[in-house]
Chain A
Amino acid sequence: MTRQVCRVAAWALCLVGACGLSSHAVAADNQNDRVTALEQKLDRSLKLIEQLAARVRELEAERAGTSNLTQPAQPAQPAPPARPAEAAQQAAVAQSLPQTQQRLESVEQQLTQLADANAARGGGGAGVPLHGFADAGIGNHTANEPGLQGANIGALDIFLNPQLGEHTRSLFELVFEVNSQGQVAPDLERAQIGYQFSDAATVWIGRFHTPFGYYNTAFHHGQEIATSLRRPRFLLFEDQGGVMPIHTVGAWLTGAERLADGRITYDVFVGNGQAISSGSIDPRSGGVAHGGAIYGGNLGYVFGEILNGLKVGVSAFRSNISDDEQLGRITQVDNTGVYFAYDTDRFEYLGEYYRFNDRDLTDGGPARQSNAGFLQLAWRLPLATPYVRYERAVLDQGDNFFALQSNGMSYYREALGLRFDLDPKSALKLELGRTKNTDRNIEQWTDAMLDYAIRF
C-alpha cells in the first residue's frame, strides 16, 4: 500500500514537472533556440539521472559486500573451525575496509584537484600550448630590404607561455627569419622568466622587448595582429636596420593598478648596455665585457568607460652604448617619448614621438638632439581596414650613435594600406609607400607590397 502511494506521488511530481515544461514550451512556442537549449538540458538531466542511479547501484553493491565480509553467510555444511589467527586477520580487514575506502576517495579527490589545477594553468596533459605567427609577401621591394624585390618569406614566430605555478611565469619566443643572403637565421627573440607578486607587480629576468612607447611591446613580431604591413622604419628590429634598442637583456618590473575609471600601467627596467656591432645594435644577450647599462621606464594610463580603448603614456631610457670597432668609445643615449593608442571596434589610431639627447662620453662635447615619430590612422570598415601612416626621423649625423649605424640616416615615409581579414586568424595586407632618405645617401623609392599573415 505504502509502495503504491509512493509511486503515485512520484508520478504526480513527474507530471507537475512535465506540465511546467509543457506550459513553458507553449509560451515559448516561437523561440526555437530556447526549445533546443531546453532539449539539451533535458538530455543532460537524463544522463545525470542515469549516473546517479548507477552510483546508487554501486553503493548498494558495496554495502552488500561489506556485510558479507562482516557477517559471513552460514556454510551449507559445517566447516572446520577457523583458527584464531585467521579470524583475527579477517576482523582486522573488515575493520580497515571503511578507512581504506575513505583514503581512496581522498586520494582520488586530490588527483582530480591536481589535474584541474594543471588544466587551469594550461599545462595539463596536453602539454604547453604553442602559439605563433607567420607571413610571406611579394612586391617591387621587400618590406625590410629595399634593395631586394619579388617574393619573400617574412618570419616564422613561435612563442609559448608555460605557467609553472601560482606565481612563476615564463615566456619564450623563437623566430626564424630569412636574411638578405637568403639564409634562415633562428633568433631567440624573448626568453623571460618572471615572478608575479600580484596584479600590480611582476618581475621578469631575461631578454624582453624594451618597454618604450607602445608599438614595440604591442606588436613586435606579431605581424598578423599589427594592422599595417610593416613597422615604422626607425622601429625595425636591430638586425633589419632599426635605430632603437628594441630588445634588452636584464630585469623588468611591470604591473598595473586599477583606478576609479581606468588603469595606470608602469614598467621599470635595467639591463646590459647595447653595443653597435657591424653597423647595427647588438643587445648583448650573453653579457657585457665592457660598456655600460641601459635603464628606463614607461608610465601609461588606460581609459575606462569614458574614451574606452585609449591609452596614453610617456617613456624614457638612458643607455651607455659602446662601439665594438672603437673600444672605449661610449655614447650616452638619452631618449624620452610620448605615445597614444586609441583602439576601438571602428578605428585604430596610433602615434609616437621620441627625442634623443645624446653625448659622447669619450670626447665630451655638446649634446646632440635627434627626433623620430609616426602617426598611423586606420578605420575598421566591414570589408576591409584602410590605413595611412606618416613617419619622420631627423637624426643628427654628428651623433656617433646614429653615424655608426648603417641605417641611421634621416628619412620620411608616407604609406597607404589596406588590410583584409580573411578569417579570424589570417589577414591579407596591401601597402603603397614612398620613402626618402634626407641625408647621408639621399635617395627615394616607391614600394608596392602584398603580405599574407597568419596566427596560430
Chain B
Amino acid sequence: MQRIFMYWTFSLLMAGVCSAVAADDLFVVCHAGVTLAAADVRDVYLGEKEFFNTVRLVPVDNIAAQPEFLDKVLRMNAAKYATTWAKKSFRDGINPPVTMANDAAVLEFIRRTPGGCGYLGIAPLEGVAVIAKY
C-alpha cells in the first residue's frame, strides 16, 4: 500500500513538474482574503504599500524564483533591488522582505500568515489568493 502511494504521488508530481516548467509562469499569491490589484505588487515589494485594509502585508522573497520576479515584475536587477531597499530602510525605517528558499516554503508561509504575500514558479493549489500571473 505504501509503495503504491509513493508511485502515485511520484507520478502526479512528475506530471505537475512537467506542466509547470512548460508553462514557465510566475504567480504572485497572498494569504486567502487579501485582494490586491496587479499594479499593487510593485508597491508591496518596494515598501510603498504595507497594508491591505487594516492587515499588515508581509511580502517574502523566493530565492528560486527571484531573478524571474525581478525581471518580469519589478523590472530591475538584484543589485538595484538591494540598493533600493538600502535607501528605503535608511529613509523610512522599514526592513526588506524576508527571503525564503523555494516555492514550498513560500506557499506554507503564506497559508499560515495573515497578510503574507509571495511569488511562486508553480501554480498554487488551494488556500491562497492568486493576485497576478506573469
Mark A residues whose CB is within 8 Å of B.
Answer: 6-7, 10-11, 13-14, 16-18, 20-21, 24, 34, 37-38, 40-42, 44-46, 48-49, 52-53, 56-57, 109, 112-113, 116-117, 119-122, 129, 131, 159, 161, 163, 166-167, 169-171, 192, 194, 196, 198-199, 217-218, 220, 222, 225, 256, 258, 263, 345, 424-425, 455
Contacts and interface: CB of A to CB of B under 8 A. Distances in A.
- A10, A56, A129 pick with most chain B CB within 10 angstroms: A10
Contacts of B21: 24, 34, 37-38, 41
Nearest to A167: B56
B98 A49 contact: no
Given A24-B21, A52-B9, A424-B83, A129 B113 contact: no
Contacts, number: 143
Interface in B69-100: 79-80, 82-83, 86-87, 89-91, 93-95, 98
A205 to B, nearest CB: 13
Main secondary structure, interface of A, reads helix
B102 interface: yes
A41 B83 contact: no
Contacts of B8: 10, 13
B38 interface: no
B48 interface: yes
Interface of B: 2-15, 17-22, 24, 43, 48-51, 54, 56, 58, 60, 64, 79-80, 82-83, 86-87, 89-91, 93-95, 98, 102, 104, 109, 112-113, 116, 121-122
B11 A48 contact: no
B17 A166 contact: no
Given A13-B11, A424-B82, A169 B4 contact: no
B15 A16 contact: yes
A218 B91 contact: yes
Given A14-B10, A48-B104, A196-B50, A56 B17 contact: no
B58 A20 contact: no
Given A10-B8, A112-B112, A129-B95, A20 B49 contact: no
Contacts of A49: 6, 9-10, 13
B121 to A, nearest CB: 8
A119 to B, nearest CB: 5
Contact of B18 (A17, A53, A198): A17
B66 to A, nearest CB: 13
Nearest to A169: B93
Contacts of A11: 7
B95 A161 contact: yes
A45 B11 CA distance: 10
A424 B87 CA distance: 13
A10 B4 CA distance: 6
B104 A119 contact: no
A308 to B, nearest CB: 10
Nearest to B81: A424
13 contacts: A10-B7, A17-B14, A21-B14, A41-B122, A45-B13, A49-B9, A53-B5, A116-B113, A199-B50, A222-B86, A258-B48, A424-B82, A424-B83
